[in-house]
Amino acid sequence: MSYGSDYPREDPRQGYPSSGQGPSIGRAIGMRFIPVLVMAAMAGLFLLQSCQRGPFGRNQVIAIGPEEEKALGLQAFQQVLSESNVISRGPTVEAVTRVARRLAEASNSEPFRQAIGLPPQQFEWDFRVVDSDQINAFCLPGGKVVVFTGILPVAQTEEGLATVVGHEIGHAIARHSAERMAQTKVVQMVQQGVAVSMSDMAPQQVQQVMGMLGVGSQVGILLPFSRNHESEADHIGILLMSAAGYDPHEASRFWIRMQEATSDQKRPPEFLSTHPNSERRAEDLEAWLPEAIPLYQASQKQPTGKPLPMAGGLGGAREEPLFPIRRPSRERSPFPK
């Protein structure tokens, strides 16, 4: 892709145009920044136009409508299901469906909506269990929840499962994937402005600067946003599980187990990671308990510590798969946890 430039280029081999005052370096530098400023102004306009009230009263930039977002969620859901070994019935499916349904119902309850500061949303819920050793679960936009059997030994109980599914539903309710799309768009707009401003430079130099800019925006802008999303999903998740009648004290216990279960997977330092570190996470979850406990007390509490059917070992008989595996599973969620 080539970028045009509206300002005259100067060929250093031929010297600067004679103005009687020698080379105007300041002017040349100033002109170089014009495309950056134009794209930054356009990005600013886009931010203003797409800004709306997000969870907990914060401002949120969203570039696509809920229907478009749902359609993308459905597309990803169908793709995951077509590539996975989906289990259709049995005690595991019943337990996962029971937990996910309670969370889904609580997600539109008045006390919960008031607590997160968002209006009710029209989700078309669907809950599926995938037979896989992968320690994962996710909720796609529009309410498509997928739980991998590999996470059940970590969840151990229905409260543990409610913690992770609550977190995933939190991402969907907060429309984090649509927000991430908007953030990426803004970063790309600014990068485009920089690319135009360097259109007279050698391709190698341009590549170097764009590479640095890419890493810079990843570490400086997109990753902090991702970490904020993770923290916000934790916050929404603990309130949601409480509103659904699951003991919020279980949340920090679950994330400790999760940390232990995934500790052998090489983990980058927090500033390069999309996830908050476990100490920070435990502190935050503790700090949100005063908000969560009243929701839990007002809910129809269920007995805590109910073990999941497959907890403590997955070597037993598998339930009947709904779809045969068409090709090897890529073992990857389209959305990060």
Q: Supply the minimum distance, in Å, between the C-beta of residue 24 and Zn ion.
A: 52
| CA neighbor of 160 nearest in space, from 224, 248, 91, 225 | 248
Q: Supply the minimum distance, in Å, between the C-beta of residue 160 and Zn ion.
A: 15
Of 36 and 151, the one with the shorter C-beta distance to Zn ion is 151
Q: Supply the minimum distance, in Å, between the C-beta of residue 176 and Zn ion.
A: 8
337 binds Zn ion (CB under 5 A): yes
How many residues sit in the footprint of Zn ion (CB under 5 A)?
3
**Residues 6 or more apart whose Cβ sits within 8 Å of residue 229:** 171, 174, 176, 179, 180, 274
Rounded Cα gap, residues 24 and 17, in angstroms: 9
Of 35 and 150, the one with the shorter C-beta distance to Zn ion is 150
169 binds Zn ion (CB under 5 A): no
Q: Supply the minimum distance, in Å, between the C-beta of residue 112 and Zn ion.
A: 18
Of 128 and 167, the one with the shorter C-beta distance to Zn ion is 167
Which part of the chain contacts Zn ion (CB under 5 A), choosing from 24-32, 182-190, 225-233, 285-293?
225-233
C-alpha to C-alpha distances, 41 to 6, 45, 274, nearest whole angstrom: 17, 6, 28
Q: Supply the minimum distance, in Å, between the C-beta of residue 6 and Zn ion.
A: 44
Q: Supply the minimum distance, in Å, between the C-beta of residue 273 and Zn ion.
A: 12
Q: Supply the minimum distance, in Å, between the C-beta of residue 167 and Zn ion.
A: 6
Of 27 and 332, the one with the shorter C-beta distance to Zn ion is 332
Catalytic residues: 168
Of 35 and 170, the one with the shorter C-beta distance to Zn ion is 170
- Which of 169, 233, 258, 311 is in the footprint of Zn ion by CB under 5 A? 233
How does strand 137-140 pair with strand 86-87?
A: unpaired
238 binds Zn ion (CB under 5 A): no
Which part of the chain contacts Zn ion (CB under 5 A), choosing from 219-227, 233-241, 262-270, 325-333?
233-241
Which part of the chain contacts Zn ion (CB under 5 A), choosing from 65-73, 109-117, 230-238, 265-273?
230-238
Q: Shortest Cβ contact with Zn ion: which residue?
A: 337
Of 70 and 337, the one with the shorter C-beta distance to Zn ion is 337
Of 234 and 250, the one with the shorter C-beta distance to Zn ion is 234
Which part of the chain contacts Zn ion (CB under 5 A), choosing from 1-9, 210-218, 227-235, 293-301?
227-235
What does the binding site for Zn ion look like in residue numbers (CB under 5 A)?
230, 233, 337
